[in-house]
Homo-oligomer: A and B are copies of this chain.
Amino acid sequence: MRDSRIDSIFNCKSLALFGSVSEGKLGRALIERLIDGGFDMKNVYVINPKGAGHLDSKGYKSVSELADKKVDLALIASPAETVPQVLEECGEAGINSAVIISSGFSEAGNNELEKKLVEAAQKYSIRFIGPNCAGVANTKNSLLATIEAKPSMGGISLISQSGAVGGLIMHLSTENGLGICKFASYGNGADLNETSLLEYLIDDESTDVITLYVENIKDGRRFMEVLRKATAVKPVIIIKSGRTSSGQRAAMSHTGSMAGADMVYDAAISACGGIRAITVDEMFDYAKIFAAKKQMAGKKVAIITNSGGPGVMTADMCENAGLTVCAPTDSLKSKLQEFLPSYAGLANPIDLTVGATPEGYAKALSACLEEYDAAIVMYVGTPHLQALPVANELAKVARNSDKCICALFEIGSDIEEAKQVLKDSGIVLFPSGERAANALSKLAEYEQHKANRREINLCPDVESMEISCHCGRTSLLETQAMRLLDSVGISIPKNFFAANNHDVVKACNEIGYPVCMKVLSSDIIHKSDVGGVILNIKNDFECTEAFNRLSKLQGFIGVIVYPMLDKGFEVMMGFVRDAQFGPVMMFGMGGIYTEVLKDVALGIAPLNYEAALELIKSTKCYEILKGARGGKKADIDALCDILVKLSMLPFMYENIQEADINPVFAYEDGAVVADARILLSTGDKIEKEWC
């Protein structure tokens, strides 16, 4: 259900502007932008201590003077310290929607003032955008309640944490052939933020495509829930910046050091069908292609060109982006031969050469669209060629097709006219074939997501417990970790704990020689680095000798004894708790390769079987697990089973911080955990029960 208070922000018919409108003041800039946007300025009421208005907009000393008027929105640009009081007055006057441009709140360290603001809003049930934001716009309502530039009108809405990025995108929208519908810069996001605004746009009929610029997301799981709902009905393109510097968490384990925050965002966004853009140019290109509302059911792209070089470069980029530039079938080839000259290239790219005619272009496009999922048409003219006749013929084909057609059209005295004809026919223009290829790949990705939407469970229904104890350690001993894994049904090897000479001999005999013995110590992180792992112990004598050796190691608590395991293919699994997205699973190549090759994939926990399989498939080591080069196949089902079970642990035990299961040995039949490290939240204690 749409919140009418958010509606009132974007679709307001009248607004009260709080702040000075003197020359050089923020209020004056806002008046100018509102005029530029075409808003009816008689419905803008200016409120400041002097009661000074500007041009058509009358001034008042207090909002109480507006009792006889209907005011939909408060646009606040008054000094920070006055804003909570302004909100109170708005509440009293029955205005329950606000946009707060004023800065000087939490971003400047004034958390108290921002808290007051939120309290005032809550008291009067006011929904607001800001503070410290660049404002909002709605081109369909001629509303430009922002300090930023006026954009072209269209179907793309933009939510931006950064005012400047939002302003830049709106400013560049015209030259990039984009039309903007709604814009909101939410600044500190003290009330409305990326998630609530995204949710609002889901049902907004004038928004065809949602674009989002974020630097951080407050509640990752809630965001995912809303994002998933949104992508079911319209594409959502997301720039998440701070990609390289933010992923600096304590490197306590493989999982911890590798699950960089940016990879987590990637996993979360792609699980929900969001399209991630890295640069503003990419965002433009993706938004443009989605805004055309054309289809692309598969990945096959036809390239039709009048020049070899640009065609080859476009084909390169298509293949790089995961699209298929396959040759036409024999029947299509015959068809093309009917009307194309003998010197035309009939492989894909279809090269009509410099002798290309308007009819040749149109017929080739028409024929290719029957077989391919999309087409890129390239026209590189010279000053003595005419582009318009080509554009006219192509436009006829485009108007009769649902499939996505992109074009590069450059050079010629009539080129701008030709471009307009193409654009009007639904063809999407790009400044290069490469950019068209890249954008098409995102269209294909989104269509594929929609065709294969998977259920995701962001909030598993399990009772959460704490593991607590009095030993002062913050990681479970390996014996404890193994018991915990066993308790959720994960396959572990037989093992015994022993703390003295008598018990260890008994344990070894219970397991049966040869055995493996590892030290348990709260001081040792990497056991094998300090000689804490002894393999292939063959008899009681060697057992005693090994135990004596291990008992001299620092922080010795006891040993764990295992049977010698067959070496399967080594993979690693684990989870961390991300500050924004909660438990995140990792899967990858195990052993010494984990950190060097970084062949790992992340998925938001919990995982079901399909999600676990997808995680495994997205690593390179999947090729090895499938049985590369005549090697043995690994039991991938068994690995999925462990991943699914492991992914529930962080929900069952709220103080498990990280788990690092490395290696898991994968066999042709089954898989078994060969080592496990489980870390608790700092400060938590481990109960004797687990010792």
Contacts and interface: CB of A to CB of B under 8 A. Distances in A.
A592 to B, nearest CB: 6
A343 interface: yes
B620 A164 contact: no
A243 interface: yes
A213 B624 contact: no
A225 interface: no
Interface string A577-605: 00000000000000011011111000000
A470 B492 CA distance: 59
B162 A309 contact: yes
A29 interface: yes
A163 B307 contact: yes
A11 interface: no
Contacts of A134: 382
A432 B280 contact: yes
A233 interface: no
B279 A432 contact: yes
B313 A165 contact: yes
A245 interface: yes
A168 B630 CA distance: 49
B410 A171 contact: yes
Contacts of A319: 244-245
Nearest to A148: B382
Given A33-B383, A36-B383, A310 B596 contact: no
Contacts of A242: 312, 316
A204 interface: no
A642 to B, nearest CB: 22
A461 interface: no
Interface string A226-253: 0000000000000101111100000000
Contacts of A628: 592, 595-596
A164 B307 contact: yes
A507 interface: no
A621 B244 CA distance: 23
Nearest to A530: B630
Given A307-B162, A316-B242, A167 B592 contact: no
A160 B382 contact: no
Given A411-B168, A432-B280, A595-B628, A309 B244 contact: no
A486 interface: no
A308 interface: yes
Given A147-B384, A164-B310, A432-B279, A244 B411 contact: no
Interface in A149-198: 149-150, 160-165, 167-168, 171-172
Contact of A380 (B168, B239, B325, B382): B168
Interface residues on A, range: 35 or more
A410 B307 contact: no
A526 B529 CA distance: 37
Interface string A448-475: 0000000000000000000000000000
A310 B410 contact: no
Given A149-B383, A596-B628, A164 B309 contact: yes
Given A168-B310, A281-B432, 6 more contacts: A163-B309, A241-B316, A279-B432, A526-B629, A592-B629, A598-B620
Contacts of A29: 382-384
Given A29-B382, A592-B629, A239 B171 contact: no
A614 interface: no
Contacts of A213: 309
A520 to B, nearest CB: 20
Interface string A287-331: 000000000000000000011111011011101100001000000
Contacts of A163: 307, 309
Contacts of A313: 165, 239, 241, 279-280
Contacts of A621: 596
Contact of A279 (B147, B161, B325, B434): B434
Contact of A241 (B281, B312, B343, B383): B312
Contact of A167 (B28, B411, B597): B411
Interface string A593-636: 10111110000000000000000000011011000111100000
Contacts of A630: 526, 528-529
